[in-house]
A and B are shown apart, each in its own frame.
Chain A
């Protein structure tokens, strides 16, 4: 049994067994609670992986249902048992992470339980409003614990609504699952059908995130492969492309380029040397390739794609800085990105990613008196590599 099959089979078997038990004996609450435990184990195996975000386990949705339907003792028993099984069988890069993960889950579930019950016990008024508010507060409490743990781990915190799709999907589906389980009054609901059916929209979200993550990775890796061609071909030193991509991106960010422009700058930085491959062998023709031709040919290769055409504009600017003539006009942002790329690659050719050569690299681009480099790009590069200690932050192997 492979780990993947184990992750799928264990919770499904648990869930189905509990369902059968539930069907046979509806008088006892335990079959349903065990089925919810199976749901928790399933949810622990499914992470909502939004782009550029840490993964968010779907377990919180089932925990919210448990919070609403179980007594304190039942909640403690089922949550501890199910979370333990779920964390034990989930994919984890390191075994040592599991105890910490388990603690995180317990804390999150306990926070949700405490918040929900303190609201429904202490607040009086319209039952519907109270229950819905309590459920909303409970799921927010669970997610907040996750967020706090992440903050503790990474020592940084950012918030933007547009990147919170996973949280929003989890929040709304969990609310539906919980409130539909036994209704507002705790008696009139759909039982286990509710988490089963209202899990479907959340599962669709999980699937779409998974697809997006997969294609995102494939696209990045394809770009990286195309970028490595120039290094394997010996046209640029090993590691140069990756360093230029990373540094260009940092400089572009310092200059205020938006996310889309940064993506195009990174693409241009990866593909900029592809034009070498289109030119005749340097040894065969007995002359080095003209950098303007290389950049222009790389731009031509990108130009056919609607998605990559903005990156072609960046490379067109690079070709122009090398003296290419008859280059098509490009917008100011692409021109700035092209200037950044030109400055960074010339800097890296001298600095070669070594801290000891940093000032050599900088002097190569700052001492130019011909006006070749855009002063904004040079200034931003200086800020990034000196003031922000760019090389100091990079891992030793990369620098």
Chain B
């Protein structure tokens, strides 16, 4: 996006805020006085609702404010003046975080946006005849059209404000009106009904409406706190693993990151992404039971040692199966079970998550320096993943990971490692085959030699993480 001149933002901010104030003065001079008690009540509730939103994720938040907006539009119509809705809207501009940050221009702008949007909604609602809005279909239609007016003006003005910073264009705001209104219009209808109920029953309807909303909000906040606790509990595991095997510091976190990148590439819904994230974070939990000297052994492992190290996968699967929401993808912790088998392709009952963790794990193993081998270059890791796609790795997952990395422009591996660990014995530079825990000695070495004699060098080794 192109940077816009700074004065443009001032023009929009002052223009919108001033327009609301001039409109208020004009209406007050020529109209009747609204029911100030109702204005104060709805204004306060609107302002509180604006502060009591729930942040669902980085982009989305919900609050009850739209319902209250429409309720106020319906209730204040009886006063025969648009001053009430305008002032109720202005209340929402009193946003404490903006005051704390001394963001006066943003505050003045918000003050104007909410006021004008409410004014537009009230004007549209007022255009419908009283007898029409007295019927249920009439009320629904009027509330719907009025809600659209509030929503569209709000989006347009905020879109202009954001566009003035050069972050996005106005076209995005216009697209947002079309795509987001279907999500909020039921709240507009509820607000319309709430307003009509207020008119017949009085303010008692407000606590009846607010109670479940507040409980839902409080419960959802507890949920978000516990989700953070769950994340931190997974971090406990990572901390313990890193104390035990500090040479693989960051491995689990990186695997989780790559796995989520693949999940996003495959358009996983949020719930599935969350499960994938935790499965990846916890896939090495069984390593807690692997003796440290084996995890950090610089040389090759004996068969017995290798078998002991491999036992951790069964333990990991067992432990993940104890957690209900991870149980369906518990095999993510097993290299054997998550290995791709073309015969299983298309089996809907087999989740793809274990394959994702498997690929992410192998990619990180290849692009990180371990005690037994230095990090490989990204191109080598890509080639290795592609080579084994369809045999060892799920081809769709491999392509998704590569596409995600390329799209983000991320480069990992030799020359791009962060926090490289200092080893007592410098790790050797070895071929692509020893990407994981290290080759077995000595029998596996003999097998490898036989293979090498039969095929070109560095092919057909299994990538083990």
Number of interface residues of A (CB under 8 A): 69
Interface contact A180-B193, CB-CB below 8 Å: yes
Alpha-carbon distance between A389 and B230 when the two chains are bound, in angstroms: 35
B425 is an interface residue with CB less than 8 A from chain A: no
With beta carbons under 8 angstroms apart, the residue of A168, A169, A218 that contacts B230 is A218
Instruction: Give the residue of A190, A201, A229 whose beta carbon is less than 8 angstroms from that of B136.
Output: A190
Nearest-neighbour CB distance to chain B for A141, whole angstroms, equals 18
CA distance A274 to B186 in the complex (A): 50
- Decide if A308 touches B233 in the complex (CB within 8 Å): yes
Interface residue? B37 (CB, 8 A): no
Chain A neighbourhood of B336, CB < 8 A: none
A226: which B residues are within 8 A, CB to CB? 233, 236-237, 285
Which residues of A are found within 8 Å of B216, using beta-carbon distances? 169, 201, 204-205, 207-208
Nearest to A302 among chain B residues (CB) is B236
Q: Which residue of A lies closest to B289 (CB)?
A: A233
Digit string of B341-364 for contact with A (CB within 8 Å is 1, else 0)? 000000000000000000000000
Q: How far is the CB of A116 from chain B (nearest CB, A)?
A: 17
Contact, CB under 8 Å: A175 / B237: no
Instruction: Please report which residues of chain A, range 214-254, place their CB below 8 angstroms from some CB of chain B when the two chains form the complex.
Output: 214-219, 221-226, 228-229, 232-233
Chain B contact residue count (CB 8 A cutoff): 62
A205 in complex: contacting residue of B187, B215, B319, CB < 8 Å: B215
Let me know if B211 and A198 touch, CB within 8 A. no
Tell yes or no: A395 within 8 A of B by CB.
no
A306 CA / B217 CA spacing, docked (Å)? 23
Contact A305 B240 (CB under 8 A): no
Q: Chain B 207-238, CB within 8 Å of chain A: the 1/0 string?
A: 11101110111111011011111101111110
List residues of chain B with CB within 8 A of the CB of A281.
291-293
Q: Is B201 located at the chain interface by the 8 A CB criterion?
A: yes
In contact, A228 and B322 (Cβ under 8 angstroms): yes
B23 within 8 A of A: no
B232 → chain A, closest Cβ, in Å? 4
Q: Whole-angstrom distance from the CB of B454 to the nearest CB of chain A?
A: 39
Q: Does A278 contact B (CB under 8 A)?
A: yes
Scoring B187, B200, B219 by chain A CB atoms within 10 A of each residue's CB, the highest score goes to B219
- The reply to whether the CB of A371 lies closer than 8 angstroms to some CB of chain B is no
Q: Fill in one digit per residue for B286-314: 1 if any A CB lies within 8 Å of its CB, else 0.
A: 00110111000000000000000000000
Contact A172 B208 (CB under 8 A): yes
Q: Judge if A364 is at the interface, Cβ distance under 8 Å.
A: no
- A354: Cβ under 8 A from any B Cβ: no
Chain A CB within 10 Å, residue with most, of B204, B232, B233, B235: B233
Judge whether A204 and B212 touch: CB under 8 Å.
yes
The distance in angstroms between the C-alpha atoms of A316 and B376, with both chains bound, is 42
In B44-77, the 8 Å CB interface with A consists of none
- A190-B193, A216-B226 in contact; A304/B236 too (CB < 8 A)? yes
Q: Is A132 among interface residues, defined by CB-CB distance under 8 A? A: yes
Q: A201-B212, A209-B219, A300-B243 are in contact. Are A222 and B226 (CB under 8 A)?
A: no
- Type the 1/0 row for B94-109, where 1 means its CB is closer than 8 Å to any CB of A: 0000000000000000
Chain B residues contacting A223 (CB-CB under 8 Å) are: 233
- Which residues of the other chain, A, contact B229 by a CB distance below 8 angstroms? 219, 305, 307-308
- Asked if A382 CB lies within 8 Å of chain B CBs, one says no
Instruction: Give A212's nearest chain B residue, CB to CB.
Output: B223
In the bound complex, residues from chain A placing their C-beta under 8 Å from that of B405 are: none
B188-212 at interface with A (beta carbon < 8 Å): 189-190, 193, 196-197, 200-202, 204-205, 207-209, 211-212
The interface of chain B, by Cβ under 8 A from chain A, is 136, 139-140, 186-187, 189-190, 193, 196-197, 200-202, 204-205, 207-209, 211-213, 215-220, 222-223, 225-230, 232-237, 239-240, 243-244, 278, 282, 285, 288-289, 291-293, 315, 318-320, 322-326
- Footprint of B on A, CB under 8 Å? 50-51, 128, 132, 165-166, 168-169, 171-173, 175-176, 179-180, 183-184, 188, 190-191, 193-194, 197-198, 200-202, 204-205, 207-209, 211-212, 214-219, 221-226, 228-229, 232-233, 271, 274-275, 277-281, 283-284, 297, 300-302, 304-308
A-B contacts, 13 of them at CB < 8 A, read: A128-B202, A165-B218, A169-B212, A172-B207, A172-B211, A173-B212, A180-B193, A190-B196, A205-B212, A216-B226, A224-B322, A225-B323, A278-B240
Nearest 10 pairs of A and B residues by beta carbon: A305-B232, A281-B291, A277-B288, A208-B219, A169-B212, A172-B211, A201-B212, A208-B220, A307-B229, A278-B243
List 11 additional A-B contacts (Cβ < 8 Å) besides A132-B204, A204-B216, A221-B322: A166-B215, A169-B215, A173-B208, A180-B197, A190-B139, A200-B187, A211-B220, A222-B323, A280-B293, A284-B293, A304-B236
